[in-house]
Structure 1
C-alpha cells in the first residue's frame, strides 16, 4: 500500500481545505470550471470520476458476470436496502432532526427553510449511488463483476422507481425523471469505462500484463479522487462560508443516515454469510448517493438557490470523507466474513 492510499483520509482533508481556499481566492476560475456542465453533470468531474473507475473496469470478466445469478443474496440485500429502507429512513431522520430538533425546538432554522432542506435530503435518499461505488468497491477489494451487476440492476430500478417514490415522500405530483442527467451519467460512468476496460483486457491479453498495467494507472484513481474533492469544495466554497451553521445542521442527519444504511446492509450480508468482496460494495451502494440526479431534481422542483438544492449539495460534500471512513471500517472487518465464493 503506497503513501497516498495509506494516508488517503489525510489527503482528502487537505483537499477539502484546498478547495475552500481555492474557491475563495479564485472564485471566477472555479465558477468557470463549475459552469462546464450539461444536465448538472460537470465535465471535469466526469473525467476525474472516469479516471477513478477505469482501473476497476479492467477487472470485469463477463464470464463471471453471467454466473452471478447463482448467488443472488447480495443483490437481494442491496436492492431491498436501497428501495424499501433507505428512502424512508432518510425522510424520517430529516423530519426528526431538521423539523423538530433544529426548527421547532431550537429555532435554528425557519419552518419554510426546514421543509426545503428535508425535501433535498429525501431526494438524496431516493437516488442510490451509481458512479462512486466503483471507487469504494475498489478501495475495499470488492468483486468488480458483482459490483457491476449491483449497480446496473440498481440503475434499471431507478428508471421506474425514482419519480413515484420521490413524489410520494415529497407529497407532490410533478416529479419527473431528468432523463438527460440519468442517461448521460450511465453512459459516462458505466458504459464508456466498461468498454475501455474490456478493450484494455483484449489488448493486454494476459492477467500478468493486466496486473502490471493496473499498478501503473492505479495512482490516477487516487489523483482523480483527490482532485474531485478539491473541485467539489471549490465550487461550493461561497455557499459553505455563507451558511456554515446550516451546512453543519444538514450534515448531521445525512451522516447518521450514511452510517445507518451501511450498517443495515453490511450486517445483513454478514448474517447471510456473503463474502466480504460482495458485502463491502453492497453496503456502499446504499450508503452513498447519485448526487447529480438529486441536485438536478432539486433545482427543477425548488430552484437553483433553494434550500432543497443546498441540502443536496451538502450531501455531495459529506459523502467522500464519510464513505472513506466506512471503507476503512470495512477493510478492518474483512476477516469477519467467509472466504469468497466461486461463481
Structure 2
C-alpha cells in the first residue's frame, strides 16, 4: 500500500478508528451554528451578557474559545523545523502576494460587482477582505493535513502585515481607489494599536504557550512521549474550542442573521465566489510552483481564510452594531465555516489525485519525515 493512496478497505479501517468527534465534524459544526443562531433568538438578554466583558474588543467567551482552539494546534508545531519554512521563498512570496495584493483586490471587485447598489454591505465585505486570517485557519490547515510549521510562519507573517497594512489598505480600498474609479467611497478609522493588541492576544499568547509546552515537554520526557502521549490527550480540545467559539459567535449575531435572511443571501453570493477563487487559485499556484501537498494546502487555506473577528470588531466600532457593514462581517463566518470545512475534504481528495506518493511505505509505518506519526484532527495518530 502506498503512503497516501489507501485502498478502500484501509480507508474504511482508518475512518472506523476515528473518534466520533472527528468522523462527524461537519455535522457538529452545523449543529453548533444552528444552536448559536437559536440561542441568540430565544434567550433574552444573551447578547448583552456575552458582550459585557471584552478582551481586545472581542467578547470574552469568544476570546476564550479562540485561545483554547489555537493552543493545541500550536503545541503540535515542531519549532525546530521553522527554518525549513522561512527558507522557502516560493511559499513566503506567494503567500504575501495572495494575502495582501490579490485577496483584498478580489474582494473589492466582487463587492462592487454584486453589491453596487448596497453601499453598507459592500463596505462590510471590503473590510472582511482586508482582515487576513490569523486564527481559525490553523484548524482548517490541521484538518486538511497541511504543514503545521508553514502555517505557523505564514500566520505570524500575516499578523505583522495586518498590524502594518490594515489601516492603510482600508484607506486605499474604501477612499482612494473608489475616487480614482469614479465610485462613491467611505472613510475607515482603524486604530493600529487595537489591531496589534488583538494579534498579541489571539496569536501571541497561544503561540508562546505552544512553544513552551513543546520545549518543556520534550526536555522532560522526550519527543516520542510528547507526540505519542501528550499531543493525543490535548488534541480534541482544539475542536471543542472551535465548536464553542462557533456557538458563541452565532449566538451574539443570531438575531441579525435570522431577521434579515434575504440580505444574508445577498451578501453570501460574493463571499462564496471569493472563497472559491482564492482557495482554488492558491491551490493551483502551489501546485504550479512545485510545492508539496502539505505546503500547497497551507498556502490555499491561509489565503482563503479571513480574520472575521477583526472584521466584525472594526465594522461595529466604526459604523455601529446595527449597521449593514456589521451584518456583512457577521455573514462572513456564516459562509466561511461550512465552505472551508467542505474544502478540507476537497483538499484531501485532491491529495490522492494530484500528489501521488514518490514511493511505497509499508502499511502502518509512519512517513520518514514524521518519525513518530502525525496526529489526526482530534489528536489520534494517523
TM-score (norm 2): 0.81
- Counterpart for residue 19 of structure 2: 2
Distance apart, 1:97 and its partner CA: 1.3
Give the distance between the partners of 2:313 and 2:85, measured in 1 at CA: 33
Answer yes or no: is 1:152 the counterpart of 2:169: no
Flag as ranges the 4+ runs of structure 1 deviating above 6 A.
338-342
Give the one of 236, 245, 266 matched to 1:249.
Answer: 266
- Counterpart for residue 181 of structure 1: 194
Q: Deviations over 1:46-84 (max 9, x none)?
A: 221222211221123333113323222112221111111
Distance apart, 1:131 and its partner CA: 0.9
Could you say if the C-alpha distance between residues 129 and 341 of structure 1 is closer, same or farther in structure 2, counting changes exceeding 3 Å?
Answer: farther
Alpha carbons 1:131, 1:290 under 8 Å: kept:
yes
Give the one of 134, 139, 148 matched to 2:138.
Answer: 134
Say which SS state the counterpart of residue 273 (structure 1) adopts: coil
Say which SS state the counterpart of residue 294 (structure 1) adopts: helix
Give the one of 122, 125, 130 matched to 2:129.
Answer: 125
Alpha carbons 1:50, 1:189 under 8 Å: kept:
yes
Q: How big is the alpha-carbon RMSD for the aligned residues of Structure 1 and Structure 2?
A: 2.1
Alpha carbons 1:261, 1:286 under 8 Å: kept:
yes
Superposed counterparts of 1:252-267, under 5 Å: 252-267=269-284
Q: Deviations over 1:193-216 (max 9, x none)?
A: 122112222332122221211111
- Counterpart for residue 168 of structure 2: 164
Superposed counterparts of 1:61-80, under 5 Å: 61-80=78-97
Superposed counterparts of 1:275-294, under 5 Å: 275-294=292-311
Answer yes or no: is 1:305 the counterpart of 2:322: yes
Answer yes or no: is 1:332 the counterpart of 2:345: no
Superposed counterparts of 1:314-325, under 5 Å: 314-325=331-342
Could you say if the C-alpha distance between residues 341 and 266 of structure 1 is closer, same or farther in structure 2, counting changes exceeding 3 Å?
Answer: farther
Give the one of 115, 123, 135 matched to 2:119.
Answer: 115
Answer yes or no: is 1:210 the counterpart of 2:226: yes
Q: Deviations over 1:266-320 (max 9, x none)?
A: 1100111211211112111221111232223223432322111111111132221
Could you say if the C-alpha distance between residues 341 and 247 of structure 1 is closer, same or farther in structure 2, counting changes exceeding 3 Å?
Answer: farther
- Counterpart for residue 380 of structure 2: none
TM-score (norm 1): 0.89
Task: Give unpaired runs (5+ residues) of structure 2.
Answer: 1-17, 176-184, 358-366, 370-382
**Count of aligned residue pairs for this structure pair:** 329
Alpha carbons 1:178, 1:296 under 8 Å: kept:
no
Worse-superposed segment, 207-216 or 246-255: 207-216
Could you say if the C-alpha distance between residues 283 and 214 of structure 1 is closer, same or farther in structure 2, counting changes exceeding 3 Å?
Answer: same
Say which SS state the counterpart of residue 329 (structure 1) adopts: helix
Distance apart, 1:247 and its partner CA: 0.9
Could you say if the C-alpha distance between residues 311 and 164 of structure 1 is closer, same or farther in structure 2, counting changes exceeding 3 Å?
Answer: same
Task: Give unpaired runs (5+ residues) of structure 1.
Answer: 100-110
Say which SS state the counterpart of residue 135 (structure 2) adopts: coil
